[in-house]
A and B are shown apart, each in its own frame.
Chain A
């Protein structure tokens, strides 16, 4: 059963009560929330994600609820709790969806040390993945969405999850967080995909979530081999081009994007070295996401198809 199979009333009944265990990539999130507006936003973006059996052990227990300490706030407030801790201050209830997405990010990067984790989007074509690594504002989410328009599969908008033993990238195809001008651009590029309502203002500007393509969610257990590491950098006047990067420099750049390199130590050095050994590295300054996506797409034309068994994660 999927989130989208439940009616709004059924969803509210479950989420405000015992909660739902939702399979998101390699993780099970146990989510509870009585906030109807949040439930509507969440179910829109996560409609294709599978609901797990209640006996399933959850990796993270999350509650998004009204602020428990009432004060004369100018507007209704909410809180995010994960495993008994609240990492954020209270926030306006209308922003519960983006805050929950950031909360999910925090859960993963604080605990999922069975993976080497990079701050990057990941897309796949013919079995090989392009890691689009960059800091906030680099344009990686916009480029990621533009790659979907070129027929690439979404593995992730936020995390590259590398199995350090097997060298595979695991999908976690959560909603793509589009910001400001890229919301309108991606609406035009991907008219067949759905974008949720716009949240503004947030600390990162206006944000809207692109619902992951159904196929990406249905194939979320299917890993990919690293093929390319691309460091996008959006600038209004940039000349859009792929600039080859040496392997040692690519290693050091990707290490900077790694959430848990220090935590994993030697394991991280070996896994990242192996990844760089097999992948080509590029810098990608760009002004237009469509032209940048064309360039990354052209890389896949030169590579043979890479097949992986479904249990290869």
Chain B
């Protein structure tokens, strides 16, 4: 997944305008996007991925590395193999956008 040019090297982050508001319960997250007025219900992986991108923009490989460290799992473990799809979903939901920083 990592190591090639193209989509994987694109950096993703949370646009400043989004100003996310969080509530966390056990392994679930609710996030309110002040820009869209929408509330999203995220599972543990999606929530932590978004929190990580909110803290600092990253490309897919960097995000996988961060999450692998956080959850103490291998970078190629099944949940992290879905990271491209997750990034796509978060993008479609308007929660993240390509970052230039």
Residues on A lying within 8 angstroms of B by beta carbon are 246-249, 251-252, 255, 261-262, 265-266, 269-270, 273
Contacts and interface: CB of A to CB of B under 8 A. Distances in A.
B17 to A, nearest CB: 14
15 contacts: A246-B25, A246-B26, A247-B26, A248-B23, A248-B25, A248-B29, A249-B28, A249-B41, A251-B23, A251-B41, A262-B37, A265-B34, A266-B21, A269-B23, A273-B23
Interface of B: 21, 23, 25-26, 28-30, 32, 34, 37, 39, 41
A265 B29 CA distance: 18
Pick from A251, A265, A269, A270 the residue with the most CB of B within 10 Å: A269
Contact of B34 (A248, A251, A255, A266): A266
A270 B28 CA distance: 17
Contact of B21 (A249, A261, A262, A269): A269
B39 A269 contact: yes
| Chain A interface SS verdict (over half) | helix
Given A247-B25, A249-B41, A273-B23, A266 B30 contact: no
Contacts of A269: 21, 23, 30, 32, 39
A273 B37 contact: no
Contacts of A252: 30, 39, 41
B32 A266 contact: yes
B30 A265 contact: no
Contact of A248 (B21, B30, B32, B37): B30
A21 to B, nearest CB: 36
A245 to B, nearest CB: 11
B72 to A, nearest CB: 24
Contacts of B37: 262, 265
Contacts of B29: 248
A252 B37 CA distance: 14
Given A246-B28, A269-B21, 15 more contacts: A246-B26, A247-B25, A248-B23, A248-B29, A249-B28, A251-B30, A251-B39, A252-B30, A252-B39, A252-B41, A255-B39, A261-B39, A265-B34, A266-B21, A266-B34
Pick from A247, A249, A261, A270 the residue with the most CB of B within 10 Å: A247
A269 B19 CA distance: 14
A262 B39 CA distance: 10
Contacts of A262: 37
Contacts of A248: 23, 25, 28-30, 41
A8 B41 CA distance: 54
The 6 closest A-B CB pairs, nearest first, are A248-B28, A269-B32, A247-B25, A273-B23, A252-B41, A265-B37
B20 to A, nearest CB: 11
A108 to B, nearest CB: 22
Contacts of A251: 23, 30, 39, 41
Contacts of A266: 21, 32, 34
Contacts of B28: 246-249
B32 to A, nearest CB: 4
Contacts of B34: 265-266
